[in-house]
Amino acid sequence: MIWPARRNPVVQHVVHTDMLRQSWHRAWAALGMPASQAVLDSLLAAYQEAQRSYHTLQHVQEMLALLEPVLIQAQRPGELELALWFHDAVYQPQAKDNELQSADWAAKVMRAQEVDEAAVQRVHSLIMATCHAAQPQQPDAQLLVDIDLAILAADAPRFAEYEQQIRAEYRWVPSLIYRAKRRAVLQSFMERDVIYSTPVFRERLEAAARRNLEQALHVK
């Protein structure tokens, strides 16, 4: 079963609800808990809000496609997959606490399901790692952050689309200011010793990400 993604200013993408539902149930099963359909519906709706162009179900699906082959490497796969689901659950382009609100939403849902508090705190920390303020040290956080940043290594058409989607989310920012701020973000990744913390993603994605960043910085 598929649903059409909600219209956004850049492009429409197909939402594969079977894939999403399978992942949602797998995450909760790994925690030994039932999966809430009501929460899943709320998340699907959140990721299709009108202000989003990049932080959508397309992004979730792309991350899940990368997660599935490496899920066996996770220390706590259910927690990692649940953190992936919630990491952009709250997204307002003008806000500065989206990750915190997303992490708090995940914690609220997990506590309602009576998940162990230690697991709640770990998921909260995983989501906060996607702020990208620093490279994570914990293995599951490294996997999550590498998967979140995999878009930097996308093929040329997808990377160009990604850049357009980010601009669309910040359409209210004047062009000169946006270009300067965006350049600073991209340059911060370029200046890291490594972009990807895990060997599997560093080997697969590092070179491509640096090519994309170099080209984007050259244009800006």
- Helix H, strand E, coil C: the string for 41-87 is HHHHHHCCCCCCCCCCHHHHHHHHHHHHHHHHHCCCHHHHHHHHHHC
* pLDDT tens figures, 107-164: 999 999 999 999 999 999 999 999 998 889 999 999 999 999 999 999 999 999 999 9
Is the pLDDT at 216 greater than 50? The verdict is yes
Q: What global pTM score does this model have? A: 0.92
